[in-house]
Chains A and B, each alone.
Chain A
């Protein structure tokens, strides 16, 4: 197997803030990985590095075998069209219909003119494919419903369908359960893990929710202050490490407050 991601001493800073601090890790194609850690630990920045919308200040990163530092603007864009990203706030166009949003999943692989045509008159083939995808995520009756009229859970399904229509080699999901209730959260995470096995794409999810990460992911990567403090199977995660992951020392509580 070749690697989906290779990070070597990657550091990412925003002004004075070091969001990712000398991280080295490698994720193979086809793996299912959950990034865990408290908020502010660098999970979102790591996802943005992996989809190349943020660039490392130091160290080297390669995505699907392509060293990021060597890529032109255009080849980075093409690379992004092979990596799916589900942002925390989903990023749907609220007053377009479900099918119009899903069809945009393939926009990175199509021309601008083609994308405009897709919105106005979707091809029969695309419509059928999207209908199947919505069936798979359980909202096939919402094909022509305006997204703003959908519930939070349904919107999330549209975002998942958009990512699937892209047919990505890797899917990144940033806190996919932050906006839904616990029962829905479990369904969503299970669905993503199932789809990853079924369709064979690499899955990397950042999760605040430790129990879900342990249940569905064979590999967890724990982040704290932008550093990797744990990397391994869930049953290797010791209570002591958990404590160091999540618990704040008296010192930090002072600065947080």
Chain B
């Protein structure tokens, strides 16, 4: 009785602490409920127009100057989605091999035992070096990477892909190394006992054991890459985000919603696909009977 009430007492203090912290942050940032209300007439109208447009996405361009023979807006939207997919896919295709290499060196489960001093120093150096590199890559958001790369190399499709690949490889690599290190070592211990080399057990036992989790996680990251790829449009890379940004600048809110709905449809589709994949991989791992 006493211990539970003690535990609850502690939890209550933690919750109270979080609430107080929120109000302190809100106060220091000058946050008031009034900030949620548009300050003047024009803003009210604009907000109203924006949300009203959600009910009537554009079936045709709102811009009068679009030439007659231009493709219909939904086709332009689909093309934008295709570009978004290409960037997401290209970014992930660069990120996964990078992540596998960094994740391998950021994992300690394949280190030989016993090992000499020099090898030990080398492995530890690589371990901390790659862990640091992965932290660095993922601590900078893909949008910031995009701005940095664009300012250095100019606007090019490769810049968008690399901007996605860098932070994603950092996150993927960290999770890869953790997934591999968390796998049971029973199999690799058994194989070492019959003469396998430590590195060999990494490739034939640890990596295969972790593979379903690696694939599931990569797929989840692919969904994230899709959203990020759309966002890269806002810094000028040609994805659906660029079309959204251009229509938004001209107050063509119905067009904005058309693009939103197309993007939503794509995300939902990929989500379903990913869910199906997860079910298959989990049954592959043998949780339930087929």
Q: Chain A: residues with CB nearer than 8 A to chain B?
A: 51, 53, 73, 77-85, 87, 89-96, 100, 104-105, 107-109, 112, 115-116, 119, 146, 148-149, 163, 166, 168
Residue numbers in B under 8 Å from A104 (CB-CB): 191, 196, 204-205
- Shortest Cβ distance from B194 into A: residue: A108
**Residues A84 and B190 in contact in the complex (CB < 8 Å), given A94-B285, A115-B200:** no
How would residues 174 to 187 of chain B score, 1 for a CB under 8 Å from any chain A CB and 0 otherwise? 00000000000011
| A53–B212 alpha-carbon span in the complex (Å) | 30
| A109–B195 alpha-carbon span in the complex (Å) | 7
Residue numbers in A under 8 Å from B191 (CB-CB): 91, 104, 107-108
Whether B86 sits at the interface, judged by CB under 8 Å, is no
Q: Is the CB of B284 within 8 A of A108?
A: no
**Closest beta carbon of chain B to A127's beta carbon, Å:** 17
**Closest beta carbon of chain B to A107's beta carbon, Å:** 5
Residue numbers in A under 8 Å from B208 (CB-CB): 93, 95-96, 100, 119
How would residues 197 to 209 of chain B score, 1 for a CB under 8 Å from any chain A CB and 0 otherwise? 1011001110011
Whether B39 sits at the interface, judged by CB under 8 Å, is no
**Closest beta carbon of chain A to B215's beta carbon, Å:** 11
Q: Which of B55-87 contact A (CB under 8 A)?
A: none
Q: Which of B231-290 contact A (CB under 8 A)?
A: 284-286
What would 16 A/B residue contacts be, using CB atoms closer than 8 Å? A51-B194, A53-B192, A73-B114, A77-B197, A81-B194, A90-B186, A91-B186, A91-B187, A93-B187, A109-B195, A112-B199, A115-B203, A116-B203, A119-B204, A149-B286, A168-B194
- Shortest Cβ distance from A48 into B: residue: B193
Q: Is the CB of B285 within 8 A of A53?
A: no
**Closest beta carbon of chain B to A94's beta carbon, Å:** 7
Q: How many A-B residue pairs have CB under 8 A?
A: 93
- Shortest Cβ distance from B116 into A: residue: A73
Whether B139 sits at the interface, judged by CB under 8 Å, is no
Apart from A77-B197, A94-B187, A115-B203, what are 6 other A-B pairs with CB-CB below 8 Å?
A51-B193, A94-B209, A100-B208, A104-B191, A112-B204, A148-B285
Whether B189 sits at the interface, judged by CB under 8 Å, is yes
Rank and list the top 5 A-B pairs by shortest CB-CB distance, nearest first: A108-B195, A91-B190, A81-B195, A148-B286, A80-B195
| A174–B187 alpha-carbon span in the complex (Å) | 15
Tally of contact residues, B, Cβ under 8 A: 25
- Shortest Cβ distance from B205 into A: residue: A93
| A87–B189 alpha-carbon span in the complex (Å) | 9
**Closest beta carbon of chain B to A137's beta carbon, Å:** 17
| A26–B254 alpha-carbon span in the complex (Å) | 88
| A81–B192 alpha-carbon span in the complex (Å) | 9
Residue numbers in A under 8 Å from B114 (CB-CB): 73
Q: Is the CB of B194 within 8 A of A83?
A: yes
Whether B148 sits at the interface, judged by CB under 8 Å, is no
Residue numbers in B under 8 Å from A79 (CB-CB): 195
**Closest beta carbon of chain A to B289's beta carbon, Å:** 8
Partner of A107, one of B189, B204, B212, B285: B204
Q: Is the CB of A95 within 8 A of B284?
A: yes
Partner of A87, one of B190, B203, B285: B190
| A168–B211 alpha-carbon span in the complex (Å) | 30
Q: Is the CB of A92 within 8 A of B187?
A: yes
**Closest beta carbon of chain A to B37's beta carbon, Å:** 55
Q: Is the CB of B286 within 8 A of A95?
A: yes
| A219–B199 alpha-carbon span in the complex (Å) | 38
Residue numbers in B under 8 Å from A100 (CB-CB): 208
**Closest beta carbon of chain A to B189's beta carbon, Å:** 6
- Shortest Cβ distance from A100 into B: residue: B208
Residue numbers in B under 8 Å from A82 (CB-CB): 195
Q: Which of B186, B193, B195, B208 gathers most chain A CB within 10 Å?
A: B195
Q: Is the CB of A84 within 8 A of B187?
A: no
**Closest beta carbon of chain A to B204's beta carbon, Å:** 5
Q: Is the CB of A85 within 8 A of B204?
A: no
- Shortest Cβ distance from B196 into A: residue: A107
